Amino acid sequence: MANHKSALKRIRQAEARKQENRYYARTMRNAVRQLRSTTAKEEATELLPRVSSLLDKLAKKKVIHSNKASNLKSSLTRHVSSL
């Protein structure tokens, strides 16, 4: 157990950030899954900018790596254009 007040605060902050990051990562995975399962071109083209924006925001906040966001956006764009 931590002995300093600052260490206790860091533990609390780390736990809060972990919960927030897990929530946003789960939201991102669900959005990507929903877009990949879409077969209608119109619906997919409407969803793609929102998912891309979400990926960019998460990469900016370092929830996911920027290369992972780029790879996901690229593959999702290819998926939408192939519909």
Model pTM score: 0.78
The CA distance from 36 to 43, in Å, is 11
Residue pLDDT, tens place only, 25-83: 999 999 999 999 988 898 999 999 999 999 999 999 999 999 999 999 999 999 999 88
CA–CA gap between residue 9 and residue 38 (Å, rounded): 44
The identity of residue 16, as a single letter, is: A
Length of the chain: 83
User: Rounded CA gap, 52 and 79, in Å?
Assistant: 13
Q: How far apart are CA 66 and CA 52, in angstroms?
A: 12
pLDDT beyond 90 at 14: yes
Domain covering 5-82 in this structure, CATH number: 1.20.58.110
- Given the structure tokens 């157990």, which residue do they identify? 1
